[in-house]
């Protein structure tokens, strides 16, 4: 994200490769968050 910000501050176009990396990381983070939410109810001691 720092690289994206730096490009934006300088008024430069964000390279396609960098945009793809950022998008991939966003998707992975969302998938992992959803997996964690799905796991919680199956853990011992989880409160409803």
For 8, the token pair is 């934006």
**15 located within any domain:** yes
C-alpha atoms less than 13 angstroms from C-alpha of 31 in its C-beta half-sphere: 6
Number of domains forming the structure of the chain: 1
For the cut 80, the answer to whether the pLDDT of residue 44 exceeds it is: no
Segment 3-33, tens digit of pLDDT:
999 999 999 999 999 999 999 999 999 999 9
| Segments forming the whole domain that contains residue 21 | 2-42
What is the full DSSP assignment across 1-48? Answer: -HHHHHHHHTTPPPPHHHHHHHHHHHHHHHHHHHHHHHHGGGSTT---
Model pTM above 0.75:
no
Which pLDDT score is estimated for 42? 72
**47 located within any domain:** no
Which pLDDT score is estimated for 18? 95
Which pLDDT score is estimated for 38? 84
């Amino acid at each position: 994200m720092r690289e994206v910000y730096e490009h934006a501050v300088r008024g430069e176009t964000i390279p396609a490769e960098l945009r793809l990396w950022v998008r991939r990381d966003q998707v992975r983070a969302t998938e992992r968050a959803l997996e964690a939410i799905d796991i919680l109810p199956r853990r011992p001691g989880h409160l409803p």
